[in-house]
Amino acid sequence: MKRTYFNILCSLLFIIAWSLLPDFTISLLDYVGIYSVVVLGLVVMTGIAGMTSFGQAAFVGIGAYSTGWICTSAPIIEMLEGTGLVSLLPWAGLLLGLIIAGVLAWFLGLLTLNLSSFYLPLCTIAWGLSFFYLFGTLEFLGGHTGMTGIPALSLGHFKLDTSRTFGIVIWLALFFFIWILNNLINSREGRAIQALKTNRLMAESMGIHTTAYRAKVFLLAALMASTSGWLYTHFQRFINPTPFNLSASIEYIFMAVIGGVGYLWGAVLGAGIFTFTKNYLQDMPTHIFGNNVSTEAIIFGILMLIILQYYANGLWPRFARLFNFVSPINNEFPFDKYPASHLSVRQIPASDTTLLKANKVTKRFGGLVANQSISLHLKAGEIHALIGPNGAGKSTFFNILSGVDVSTEGHVEFLGENMFARPARDYAQRGLGRTFQHVRLLKNQPVIENVALGAHLRGRCGWFASMFRLDRKEESALRIEALKQIRRCGLDGSENLPASSLSLGKQRIIEIARALAGQPVALLLDEPAAGLRHLEKKALADLLLQLKSEGLGILIIEHDMEFVMHLADRITVIDFGNVIAEGAPAEIQVNPRVLDAYLGVSDETMASKT
């Protein structure tokens, strides 16, 4: 309710400002709107999904030149003369720009998105430059002089040929983009996008095809840049290659960083501050550093340094706090407004079914043999423990069992199917849930979002549905499922707290809840009890026994011997990558090889852990 009033108030202020402000300010605001559209795409791509592009201006150029060309092309205009369709040409231009930018982004995305670290930004610089030179050399695009005489947009008989009238189109488009992107971020698909930034490996284990998601985010940002180019062309009515060069791309990144690269409204704030400051600085006397030196660029650089030094997350969070804005993260989901739809439910295999089977799995890291021909099977309805000293190769083996890593020799079967070289998401899809020894969570996100991410594969709604809020019933169901698992794992009350605010032990439990939200048939837990207190361990043991009675197969790595001996049906011991014993807890406790290799050094091992 509070939010609704706030929105109405803002809209009223906007309308009043729009009718009163002088023409010059309005046209600056139009530029702010046009730039914001590109920067919004960058916020999603860089701030939320973690990919940096120095080539966005090229996509702006594609949008700008597409409409510029189609709207001024003599043969096309001649052909349409008299049909009344000429006034629709700008819309054809928009479509053409979106198609060209879309196809190119998809193609470039496939080529470059798997590059790691700084190779991706370097590549974006390369094609950003190529397009800029291409615009300047193509004769039919007017070469370096560019194109003039581009018509204004008209709606029926109403020509939007002033900054005040066309500005309405710009800002409506901008608000529309903010709305759909905000919806997207706060959805099942948004959680997946957020996982791309720091947690691709985890995301794949939740069933997310991270390469496809990265390509889609890249495409989205390109389409937004192209739309911005279209707006720019019909606002300026003439174009040349200069605004689409590399320095423009860098300016867009500046805007995103100034505003706060993780915040949608930060895009508008950043574009606003940038545009107004730049305009103000342009009027400054140039004699300070001599006529040949661009004073504005120097002052701007210093300003950037100051902002980055003091506001590493950009100015938006500060601004939002100052005015006490409603948090952009939608914590309180209106469950009563959206009755939950049904999520897919997995059939649990009959007890004793072999779920996971490792056949002579060997894993080498160069000369180091982390796993040496390990065979093991996990059945439905059992708890199987994997123990061994630190560095024995347990976590490595887990990574191979869950598709996070590929074995050098041997293979893993899941429910009878050979899974060799399959990605982790295929394991997740067939019902494998796992946790990580080194916790992998969306740290700043609430616990409920983290757990709901585990239910990713149980939802169906895609990007379009998320953007237009057609996913709300499914989102309701996913959140109810997440809450159910949170309660089941004893984390009630912390659902809306950021994951990183919980103790490390509890963060491990969040990972279990997340795995359970995916309704797994096999569960791999890597040291889940580390960092838990006595009573918490007991609660965890109860939960695992409960899951076992429901028919799950659980493979657990654990150092706490008392915990393991009471819980496990079978134990496999590995040392230096080799299986040295396998059997019931009572047998393992008296096995001389185990006593010698593992329990014999257990005091040391424990000491090294604390």
Please report, as ranges, the residues that interact with ligand ADP according to CB under 6 A.
365, 368, 370, 388, 390-396
Choosing among ligand ADP, Mg ion, none, which partner's interface includes residue 365 (Cβ < 5 to 8 Å by kind)?
ligand ADP
**Amino acid letter for position 600:** G
Q: Locate 17 and state its tokens.
A: 């400002």
How many helices (H) and strands (E) the chain has is answered by 25, 12
Choosing among ligand ADP, Mg ion, none, which partner's interface includes residue 392 (Cβ < 5 to 8 Å by kind)?
ligand ADP
* Residue 203 or 401 having the CB closest to ligand ADP: 401
Helical H runs in 550-610?
561-567, 585-590, 592-597, 602-609
Q: Locate 332 and state its tokens.
A: 């309180």
Choose the stretch contacting Mg ion; rule: CB under 5 A; options: 27-35, 90-98, 144-152, 437-445.
437-445
Choosing among ligand ADP, Mg ion, none, which partner's interface includes residue 390 (Cβ < 5 to 8 Å by kind)?
ligand ADP
Q: How far apart are CA 104 and CA 183, in angstroms?
A: 26
- Cβ at position 527, least distance to Mg ion in Å: 7
Is the backbone of residue 207 left (phi > 0), alpha (psi -120 to 50) or beta? left
Phi, psi of 364 (to 5 degrees): -115, 140
- Cβ at position 438, least distance to ligand ADP in Å: 10
What is the dihedral sign for C-alpha 107, 109, 113, 119? positive
Q: Which of residues 379-398 bind Mg ion (CB under 5 A)?
A: 394-395
Choosing among ligand ADP, Mg ion, none, which partner's interface includes residue 393 (Cβ < 5 to 8 Å by kind)?
ligand ADP
- Cβ at position 531, least distance to ligand ADP in Å: 16
- The size of the interface with Mg ion (CB under 5 A), counted in residues, is 3
Binding of residue 437 to Mg ion (CB under 5 A): yes
Q: How far apart are CA 556 and CA 573, in angstroms?
A: 12
Q: Yes or no: say if 35 and 228 are a contact pair by the CB < 8 Å rule.
A: yes
Q: What share of the chain is helix, strand, coil (3-state, %, to 5)?
A: 60, 10, 30
* Residue 1 or 607 having the CB closest to ligand ADP: 607
* Residue 481 or 558 having the CB closest to ligand ADP: 558
Choosing among Mg ion, ligand ADP, none, which partner's interface includes residue 370 (Cβ < 5 to 8 Å by kind)?
ligand ADP
Q: Is 224 helix (H, G, I), strand (E, B) or coil?
A: helix
* Residue 394 or 570 having the CB closest to Mg ion: 394
- Cβ at position 394, least distance to ligand ADP in Å: 3
Choosing among ligand ADP, Mg ion, none, which partner's interface includes residue 205 (Cβ < 5 to 8 Å by kind)?
none
- Cβ at position 564, least distance to Mg ion in Å: 15
**Amino acid letter for position 112:** T
- Cβ at position 524, least distance to Mg ion in Å: 12
Choosing among ligand ADP, Mg ion, none, which partner's interface includes residue 396 (Cβ < 5 to 8 Å by kind)?
ligand ADP
Q: What are the distances in angstroms from CA 138 to CA 63, 141, 146, 147?
A: 16, 5, 10, 11
Buried/exposed code over 372-384 (b: 16+ C-beta within 10 A; e: otherwise): bebebbbbbbbbb
* Residue 195 or 392 having the CB closest to ligand ADP: 392
**Amino acid letter for position 256:** A
**Position with the least CB separation from Mg ion:** 395
- Cβ at position 289, least distance to Mg ion in Å: 58
- Cβ at position 91, least distance to Mg ion in Å: 58
Binding of residue 605 to Mg ion (CB under 5 A): no
Q: How far apart are CA 391 and CA 401, in angstroms?
A: 17
* Residue 219 or 515 having the CB closest to Mg ion: 515
DSSP structural state of residue 86: G
Choosing among Mg ion, ligand ADP, none, which partner's interface includes residue 272 (Cβ < 5 to 8 Å by kind)?
none
- Cβ at position 340, least distance to Mg ion in Å: 38
Q: What are the distances in angstroms from CA 210 to CA 103, 114, 144, 206, 440?
A: 20, 10, 40, 10, 15
Footprint of Mg ion (CB under 5 A): 394-395, 437
